[in-house]
Amino acid sequence: MRALLNIIAMVVGFIAVAAVLSKKTPPRYVPTVTEKLKRYASAGDDFDVLAIGSSRTYRQIIPKVFDEAMAAAGKPTRTFNLGIDGMRPPEDTYVLEKALALRRKPLKFVIVECNNIRFEVRDEDADTVRAVHWHDWKRLVTIGRLAFYGDRKKRGFGDTMKRRFDVFPEFWEHTEYWFENVTELGRGNELLSARLFDTTDPKKSIGSDGFHDSPVRTGLSGKELAAYEKDVEAMRKTPPRAERSEWVSQAELAEKRRIIERAGAKMILVVPPYPMTKRFLPDGEKEQAAVIDFSNPLEFPELYTPEHRLDEGHTNRTGSEIYTRLIAERILRQL
């Protein structure tokens, strides 16, 4: 028993010392994330609107187009796109906190892509700095709640334990990223590589407003086009059902709202246009009514026409301009 206590004390002491030392080391360089936060920090208070979410925000909400539409309506804004490819809760909440900590003046509002928590780590992020950087204690607790307490269905003891046993390997993966983050493991090699090599990718340069166009491609064709049209037709017949998802995702959404309102801003939720069978929405009819929802191809046919699609999940440049103007129009109605 004493040996076990000594091991626990040693591990806790190691983490505590590493956490203190981590304050002395420069922040991790995370592709796209670091560059965006740097650009935002350089002129953060000049922006009064933020947009945050996945590639459906990063590649589809164009700040210049949005600001032009708002200015034409007599509500001038200056918008920064804080979207990141593949970013979902709780990573987006972490990045949002970092961005808002750089401000001294209040924002007008924050456009938030409405998503539930992604529990699994994407294959392309596994064992990368991107997977490590957002795993602080707050986010690990959120992941733990989702893993072990997210399902509130009535189950027998055996079924409950089986479910927790099934999700434990993925939760442990998150725990390893948290441990690597708080202990700064691997930072020596990381800092040396950054000093010896230019880790930035000029092909992925980001504009001063955070926006960057999607990679160039010809659009939908062949089997991909046929599959897309089939999915959209199914949505026309049966609109995506509203899903409030598990309580942990709802709590994460409420936390975003608190963070944004503490910054003196209003949160505006947006459901982007792409083929889906269900869409995540906040609890409560009042909150749902305030969501700008583009999931209905009958209401927004211009966003679902193949000519305006880059691929099944994203609009092309023309579609993105239309999408951005529609967001501005809906926000003006709310304001």
Could you write out the three-class secondary structure of 220-278?
CCHHHHHHHHHHHHHHHHCCCEEECCCHHHHHHHHHHHHHHHHCCCEEEEEECCCCCCE
Number of folded domains that form the chain: 1
Segment 166-172 shows an average pLDDT of 92
Which pLDDT band, with edges at 50, 70 and 90, does 299 fall under? very high
Q: Is the peptide bond before 306 cis (omega within 30 degrees of 0)?
A: no
Cβ-contact 109, 51 below 8 angstroms: no
140 and 80 in contact (C-beta within 8 Å)? no
Q: Please determine, for residue 210, whether its predicted confidence score (pLDDT) is greater than 50.
A: yes
User: Which among 197, 179, 189, 196 has a CA at the least distance from the CA of 131?
Assistant: 179
- The amino acid occupying position 173 is E
Print the domain residue range for 23. Answer: 2-334
Backbone angles phi, psi at 268, to 5 degrees: -120, 115
First to last CA, the chain: 62
Q: Which pLDDT tens digit goes with each residue over 214-258?
A: 777 778 889 999 999 999 999 999 999 988 778 999 999 999 999
